[in-house]
Structure 1
């Protein structure tokens, strides 16, 4: 599941987009730094109180996923289920 989560994070478009995960809607903001080697993602549940925040660093030794004050498993589950909401 971790690999699927990282693939989804890397494929998520930069900027702010509406998405769904775990049956909830989120405003998802992705920022990319250092030529794509550093990614920050923040997701705020729309109409709720859930909040996801994480950083991903692509290091020589491999990817390092760093959640912000939450368990890694929670972030991986969120990312693995994250889908962009269709415009229509």
Structure 2
């Protein structure tokens, strides 16, 4: 997705930064010119984050749980490879960094997409 040359397995700092870029609750963004609905929910006094993403207009989706432990951040994808979740998070983080009108804020209004097309940031498998 965002950086095809970046390692598929991010270090703890990169994963933490990617997670921070996704806003809590429901939001919408565009990746590769397609709309995505993303939900981030924090549980267990901030120690577990659940991410769910659905590409709007078709059946593409992915989800993962992330455990924030004293030993580090642990990614637990749900029925998809971890590499795919990481590629998606990188593309989503890039799209959120632009935000509507370059503000860096995701668009939470139904039917509105944040950021640009992201065509150079994602592939159709994400």
Name the TM-score, length of structure 2 as normaliser: 0.62
* 1:51-66 alignment, distance < 5 Å: 51-66=61-76
Bigger Rg, which one: 2
Q: Which blocks of at least 5 consecutive residues in structure 1 are unaligned?
A: none
Aligned length: 88
Which of 42, 53, 65 does residue 52 from structure 2 map onto? 42
Q: Kindly indicate which of the two structures has a greater share of residues assigned to strand.
A: 1
CA RMSD, aligned part only? 1.9
Q: Which secondary structure does the structure 1 equivalent of 2:85 belong to?
A: helix
CA deviation vs aligned residue, 1:3-54 (integer Å, no higher than 9, x gap) = 4344122231111000233443211011001222110010010112210100
